[in-house]
A = this chain, B = another copy of it.
């Protein structure tokens, strides 16, 4: 039917039309037809010509018509092409950056979770979408100080100060009583040996020490190593990310179906699937985008997720981003997520 489709890439003109179509659709959510395009696209073409181009674009899978006599809307593939090569990113306004920075720094003294919450809320507020921030993997964060406190009944309270004045507690059930003095010595030993190294490394070293117990070790060292190893065991799982502004998603028509919403919110509650998705962008660096069906999870078919990893000491420790309908303002959202990741990274690093 259509003229030769020499390549799978649309012509320059077609790309321009596709871009304006998507931009328009993102703006007001209505399928856009040939007449509207012929007016709003800068090109001086009649609706009929536009229709021909649109037919091509449809054949390429970039756009689709909900029904015969409605305009076209972008497909996931269309959005993908758009964000990859068509979108014209808009740097966030200074005021927005300032707001982000302010709300993150406001929590600087709190633990990593507090920072994550703040970032998530700020993201949501600026983008009017749902914000999500994973709670940093504590494993790759440097140990600053360790301390033990005896509790009643053979229990010991382990206190870890990590990274930027963040504190973690853990209650250990020991196999015998330890005196306050023993515990202090153990802590001293561990502090001298390990301060500044990251938790994963410390634990690895301790486990190795435990296995390869050598004659040269005295009782104190053995105790220290054993207690330390227990203190560093990964604790109860707890929530792995902070989600904010879920309710914002109810404002979008494409999600205003109660059934869809329920599925979505239940997935948010489960955490599992969302987390897997976020994990995927732990590997890559820079902003990553999952559009609709691309995520592989049915519940997210009508959603897009824009993420970026954040770092401590140039090491990726978490991911943040936003979740919204596929029809979201990518040109605005992508830079915002990007800059937020930078801000969070530098906030986490700012501890001496």
Contacts and interface: CB of A to CB of B under 8 A. Distances in A.
Contacts of A245: 269
A249 to B, nearest CB: 9
Contacts of A167: 157, 169, 171
Contacts of A161: 149, 151, 157
Given A159-B169, A251-B262, 13 more contacts: A109-B171, A114-B236, A145-B149, A145-B151, A149-B159, A149-B161, A152-B165, A155-B165, A157-B161, A157-B167, A159-B159, A247-B265, A256-B258
Given A149-B161, A171-B165, A262-B251, A236 B155 contact: no
A165 B258 CA distance: 43
A164 to B, nearest CB: 10
Nearest to A263: B247
A246 B147 CA distance: 40
A-B interface, 10 closest residue pairs, ranked by CB to CB distance from nearest: A250-B262, A167-B169, A247-B265, A256-B258, A247-B266, A247-B262, A250-B258, A147-B149, A165-B171, A151-B165
Contacts of A171: 109, 165, 167
A234 interface: no
A151 B262 CA distance: 46
Interface in A293-352: 352
Nearest to A238: B114
A286 interface: no
Interface string A228-263: 000000001000000001110011000010100110
Interface in A138-187: 145, 147, 149, 151-153, 155, 157, 159, 161, 165, 167, 169, 171
A61 interface: no
Contacts of A236: 110, 114
Interface residues of A, number: 31
A269 B167 CA distance: 27
Contacts of A262: 247, 250-251
Contacts of A266: 247
19 contacts: A110-B236, A145-B149, A149-B159, A149-B161, A152-B352, A157-B165, A157-B167, A159-B169, A165-B171, A167-B171, A245-B269, A246-B265, A247-B262, A247-B266, A247-B269, A250-B258, A250-B265, A258-B258, A261-B261
A195 to B, nearest CB: 12
Contacts of A155: 165
Contacts of A145: 149, 151
Nearest to A109: B171
A352 B247 CA distance: 43
Nearest to A244: B269
Contacts of A269: 245, 247
Contacts of A147: 149
Nearest to A121: B269
Interface string A199-241: 0000000000000000000000000000000000000100000
Nearest to A255: B258
Contact of A250 (B157, B251, B261): B261
A105 to B, nearest CB: 15
